[in-house]
Amino acid sequence: MKRFRRLFEKFIEGILLSSSTITSLTVILIVLFLFREGLGIFNRSPLEHNFIIAVSKQNPVQDLSSDQLKAIFNQDITNWSQVGGKNDSIILFTVNDITNYFTEEELGASLEYLPQKLNEFIVSHPGALMHISDKNLPSDFQGHTIHVKNISVKDFLFGKQWYPTSEPIPSFGIWPMIIGTFLVTLGALLIALPLGLATALFLAEVADIRLRNIVKPLVELLAGIPSVVYGFFGLIVIVPMVQSTFKLDVGETVLAGSLVLGIMALPTIVTIAEDALRTTPRSLKEASLALGATRWQTLRRVTIPYAKSGISAAIILGIGRAIGETMAVLMVTGNASNVPHSFLVPARTLPATIAAELGEAPYGGLHFKALFALGIVLFLFTIMINLTVAYVRNKERK
């Protein structure tokens, strides 16, 4: 009986142990799945699956970057000599253009002669640049394919253009969103920090217990309101307010996002900073007061310095909350894909982009993978924030 009991206890302990590993497992799975989907954007060409760029055999150009290709398709580059080829003008050709060169009879009822006609075309047009599906390629193709350079991490992080669905070459530069996220978060902090820290100081040092018992639950209630409700409130109240105050064409701006986010980050900052302020030992404060310092002097010279690392943790966690916030920001910042240069223009943030576009991105496509890569960037930001908090707290313990 006793042995059975012991076995049973061991068994339960095993269950408890495995439950406690689930959070760690989840974090590992999140990393795994984000990278599985997201890294796919980097080791392939920016062309959609199956599509190739082909030129005539006489054309000496072997590879092109996606920027060069985009310039060619936008007709900013019109001569092969601009990309290291012969002095010959570039003739753009996609499958849709085929009827400009051949009649429907020549192509056959079910386009069975298409590959053959593509051959004829490339031979008769040495300056052609073809964007075609490799399924239509004849086996004895008379041209050669151009190697399109892969999307690099640098292009992805610092590229200023985000046109994930543009044909034939999409652009995946997330710099506008990084700056957008940074600006919105910065603005939110400028609003939430003074308000939040002052409220924490009020709760910890100024308010009597009765007042504190009223104010603190209210601040915590602020944390419970769903972000989509903040977004709705922002859309109906704050956006028009920003628009009329600054006489803008649109009120959906960085500032509107910052205002909404600032309010949302308040509870995090207030609660954690107040907890930190309360950890200051009473004896320290009383010693200061006994030496004739006022409560304000004690607060400034004793309590705040003592709680410094806890307050820093509150600020960093507030930043983390702001960076990751999705719905409210999505609803009020206008989601323009330009790099924002002030607080009064529309912008988009990393999480808002994922939320807005993932629904329309075809599964497994480049756009889909790019959005997962955005998720990786966002995840790395939060890991960095957590490491900083752990570091700050660790220092405090010592």
Cβ proximity to another protein: between 173 and 231 the closer is: 231
| Helix/strand/coil for 91 | strand
Nearer to another protein, 72 or 266 (CB): 266
- Nearer CB in complex with another protein: 34/179: 34
Measured from the CB atom, the residue of 92 and 207 that comes closer to another protein is 207
Q: Which is nearer to another protein, 46 or 375 (CB)?
A: 375
- Tell me whether strands 143-145 and 51-56 are parallel, antiparallel or unpaired: antiparallel
Of 192, 186, 181, the residue nearest 340 (C-alpha)? 181
Least Å distance, CB 357 to another protein, is 11
Rounded to whole angstroms, what are the CA distances from 127 to 55, 114, 233, 386? Answer: 8, 20, 57, 55
Least gap, CB of 339 to another protein (angstroms): 21
> Which one, 108 or 217, has the nearer CB to another protein?
217
Tokens describing residue 370:
């790019």
Minimum CB distance to another protein, residue 246 (Å): 20
What 8-state DSSP symbol labels residue 32? H
Minimum CB–partner distance for residue 121 and another protein (Å): 40
**Minimal distance in Å, beta carbon 94 to another protein?**
32
Between the CA of residue 356 and those of 325, 351, 359, what are the distances in Å? Answer: 13, 9, 7
The residue (of 60 and 224) whose beta carbon lies closer to another protein is 224
Query: Smallest distance, Å, CB 232 to another protein?
Result: 5
**Distance (Å, rounded) from C-alpha 71 to C-alpha 162?**
15
Q: Give the nearer residue to another protein in terms of CB position, either 61 or 322.
A: 322
| Contact in structure between 243 and 255 (CB atoms under 8 Å) | no
Nearer to another protein, 152 or 294 (CB): 294
In the complex, the smallest distance separating the C-beta of residue 171 from another protein, rounded to whole angstroms, is 21
Closest to another protein by CB, 157 or 236: 236
Q: In the complex, what is the shortest distance from the CB of residue 81 to another protein, in angstroms, rounded to a whole number?
A: 45
DSSP at 196: H
The nearest distance, CB 337 to another protein, in angstroms, is 17
Minimum CB separation of residue 281 from another protein in Å reads 19
